[in-house]
Amino acid sequence: MTDLVAVAHGTADPAGLRVVHELVRQMARLRPDIPMSLGFVDLNMPDLPSLAHRIARDADDAVMVPLLLSAGYHVYVDIAAEAQRYPGRVHAAAALGPDPILVDILADRLGDLSRVDQVVLAAAGSSDPRALADCDTTAKLLAERVDRPVHVGYLSGAGSRLPEVLSQTRGRVAVATYLLAPGFFYNRTRKLAGPRPVTPPLAPDPRLAALALHRYEEALTTRWEPRSTPHARRFVKTLRAYEEAICARPGRPGSGLPPRPGPAVFPRCRGGAVPARYGGG
């Protein structure tokens, strides 16, 4: 069975980290036959290069599934680098969005809109125009779904910033949170929204877990690969030095630093070095 490597952004917020873990647990309960692990492109461990190296060593085949709502830098650079590093063995699935399932979850979170004139979609943001285009597509689909104008406001990167969009959107406004889990961006959204209603993040939701599994199945049949970019090619060349550098992180042998508090992940491990993996229970 082809391994599934869920790839999340990472967060310093413990509540957000718990939500990401619960999402992968939901995926494992839906498909207990698939070996699953969870890695991060930022902030949390295991980092994606180390996890991909372990999976490529232990598994015959693997698909990285981005737990990301749009395809930007992390898909086209970080994940692309690992697919190129292990060609034919480690593959990449498409990002979760845009997708009608995400629109359904957003609409359900918004609920009754009889007293709402317009919706602002609060998204994390990206410097990659492809990610912004994905968010624009989601906004258009949501507008059709709820029969209200939907405007995108970003919390970082390029594109119109959330404060500006909120100030320019007239009438009774609801804010639809287009974020996977609670954390810095969600707290920022609630603060910027003021008295306007703000929906909770998308995860955990069984439909989101099913969508991630669908991306896995798609990759098995289509072998979608993120397009190579100069950034990705340069990143591949530095991975070996990067792996050596992370050995000096807190809690690693030879680092001289105390370990991080508590486990960050529960990756699959055939060699027994890591005590837990995601399962169907």
- Residue 181 sits at the vertex; the CA angle it makes with 106 and 82, to the nearest 5 degrees, is 110
211 shares a domain with 78: yes
The fraction of the chain above a pLDDT of 90, given in percent, is: 76
Q: Name the band, by pLDDT with cuts 50, 70 and 90, for residue 259.
A: very low
pLDDT at 222: 83
Burial class (CB within 10 angstroms; exposed 0-12, middle 13-18, buried 19+) of 109: middle
Q: What is the pLDDT of residues 170-224, one digit of tens each?
A: 999 999 999 999 999 999 999 999 999 999 999 999 999 999 999 999 999 986 5
Q: What is the pLDDT of residues 99-114, one digit of tens each?
A: 999 999 999 999 999 9
**DSSP-H helix ranges across the chain:** 14-30, 48-58, 73, 80-85, 100-110, 129-146, 162-168, 184-193, 206-222, 230-237, 239-246
d(CA 32, CA 69): 24
Let me know: does 110 contact 203? Beta carbons within 8 Å: no
Query: How far is it between the farthest Cα atoms of the chain?
Result: 60
pLDDT at 264: 32
Q: Name the band, by pLDDT with cuts 50, 70 and 90, for residue 225.
A: low
25 shares a domain with 68: yes
Q: What is the pLDDT of residues 13-59, one digit of tens each?
A: 999 999 999 999 999 999 999 999 999 999 899 999 999 999 999 99
**Beta strands 173-178; 118-123: pairing state:** parallel
Q: What is the pTM of this model?
A: 0.81
d(CA 77, CA 75): 6
CA distances from 211 to 136, 167, 220 (A): 20, 34, 14
Q: Is residue 81 part of a domain?
A: yes
CATH number at residue 189: 3.40.50.1400
Q: In the numeric block, which tokens belong to residue 6? A: 């869920």
104 shares a domain with 92: no
CA 3 to chain centre: 18
Mean pLDDT over each residue of the chain, to the nearest integer:
84
Total tally of structural domains belonging to the chain: 2
Give the residue numbers spanning the domain of 152.
100-193
Sign for the CA dihedral angle at 191, 197, 200, 202 comes to: negative
**Beta strands 150-154; 118-123: pairing state:** parallel
pLDDT at 10: 92
Full 3-state SS string of 54-79: HHHHHCCCEEEEECCCCCCHHHHHHH
Q: Is pLDDT above 80 for 263? A: no
143 shares a domain with 83: no
188 shares a domain with 61: no
